[in-house]
Amino acid sequence: MNFLVIGVLVVLQDAAVGSIKVVESYWTLKANELVVDEDMSKYGSKVLVPLVCGEAFEGQNIIWKRENKEELPLHGNRVFVILEERQGGTYTCYNTEGNYLNHTLVLVHWRYKKIIKGTPQKGYIHCSTNNYSGFFQCFWTWDETRAGKVEFVQITRSHTVGNISCRLEPSESSITCQDHAYCPYAEEMDHINLTIYFRSNYIIETYNLQFQISDIVKPDMVHIKKKNNILELQYPESWSTPFSYFPLRFQVKEIRCRRKRNCDCSKRRSKVGLTQKQQWPLKYGVTVCVRAQDGLTNSPWGEWNWYKPQMTAQDTQGYCHRSGCNMKKWMGHAKEL
């Protein structure tokens, strides 16, 4: 009985070494970069990856090295390297004289999303623009525990032949893009398809987004100008023209913030008024918060701007003096909104 068990074990071990599977799913990310789709359930932690030095070197005696270290026990133009536990690497091939011929970086694509921060609900990459010029930016936040970098950015229009160029900002936390073929005056029929490939060690993670400019347009801050007792709500300079073709809608919130130097419009609860008019009557002692949204879509609201009346010494005195009797009236104003 004991002999039988030992015998079986030996056979199994041999079978395991000889049975490393050849990877079925792999693709070229860019020149000299091969990405293997990880599938532990299919292959286990080891998998064979086919590499070719080059078509021109068929039939030659070729030498292979990993990370330019010791020679691997592999010969010929077409070889299989063992990928173990996500340890990719740069495989370089040489002729027998030791001259460099070519190289391939082997990377592993897994399904996790760990290199940048986010959740499936909130998303990972956020794109935004302040007008309909075809310009936009996409942002993300690195996870501090992983040394991540952008390996590749792929961006296309879903149907039409677009021409979108992107560049990585020096902070490496955003890309700035321009759709050169974008026409602001025509209805946007197709989607922008953005895929960013992030890399950490030999791991590749892919992040895909599809959106239209009209989904991500977020106007800059509204300018507020006081004229007598009217507040004029002015379109941001960066907004697309003509304004009649690109109307904005405004949210207006009247709050009282006497003591705080800065009024945080987003945190103050108050009834919000909606208007497309560019005039707002100013009420005594009230701070007016305003933000804008594209008037024709449901894209994000811009940041709040506010108009806070300047209290002169006299105003303040008067205010203090009248606070007892006029407080209720002001609250009444806020409720009327």
Asked if residue 278 binds ligand NAG (CB under 6 A), the reply is no
CB-based contact 96:76 (threshold 8 Å): no
Q: Which of 135, 139, 142, 319 binds ligand NAG (CB under 6 A)?
A: 135
* Contact criterion met (CB below 8 Å) for 137 and 179: no
DSSP 240-291: -S-TTTS-EEEEEEEE--SS-SS--TTTS---EEEE--SEEE--TT-EEEEE
Residue 50 interacts with ligand NAG (CB under 6 A): yes or no = no
Q: Contact between 104 and ligand NAG (CB under 6 A)? A: yes
The site for ligand NAG, by CB under 6 A, has a size of: 18
Per rule CB under 6 A, is residue 54 in the interface with ligand NAG?
yes
Give 116's DSSP letter.
Answer: B
Q: Which is nearer to ligand NAG, 205 or 254 (CB)?
A: 205
Closer to ligand NAG by Cβ: residue 240 or 278: 240
Q: How far is the CB of 6 from ligand NAG (least distance, A)?
A: 45
Closest CA to 81 of 55, 59, 109, 53: 53
Listed ranges 2-10, 125-133, 267-275, 323-331: which one lies at the site for ligand NAG (CB under 6 A) = 125-133
DSSP string for 195-246:
EEEEEETTEEEEEEEEE-HHHHB---PPEEEEETTEEEEEPPTTS-S-TTTS
Contacts of 130 (CB under 8 A, 6+ apart): 217, 218, 219, 220, 236, 238, 239
Cross-strand bridge partners of residue 233: 224
The token pair at 115 is 């290199």
**How far is it, in rounded angstroms, from Cα 306 to Cα 252?**
9
Residue number with CB closer to ligand NAG (141 or 158) = 158
Query: Biggest alpha carbon distance in the chain?
Result: 104
Q: Can you tell me the distance from the alpha carbon of 88 to that of 26, in angstroms, rounded to the nearest whole number?
A: 13
Which range of residues in 129-137, 145-153, 255-263, 302-310 is near ligand NAG by CB under 6 A?
Answer: 129-137
Q: Tell me whether residue 145 or residue 171 sits nearer to ligand NAG (CB atom).
A: 171
CB atoms under 10 Å from CB of 108, counted, come to: 21
180 binds ligand NAG (CB under 6 A): yes
Cβ proximity to ligand NAG: between 44 and 50 the closer is: 50
The residue among 154 and 212 lying less far from ligand NAG, judged by its C-beta, is 154
* Closest distance to ligand NAG from the beta carbon of 262 (Å): 25
Q: In this complex, which beta carbon is closest to ligand NAG, that of residue 166 or of residue 263?
A: 166
Q: Binding of ligand NAG at residue 32 (CB under 6 A)? A: yes
Is 269 a binding residue for ligand NAG by CB under 6 A? The answer is: no
Residue 133 interacts with ligand NAG (CB under 6 A): yes or no: yes
The residues binding ligand NAG (CB under 6 A) are 32, 54-56, 102, 104, 130-131, 133, 135, 154, 158, 163, 180, 193, 195, 238, 240
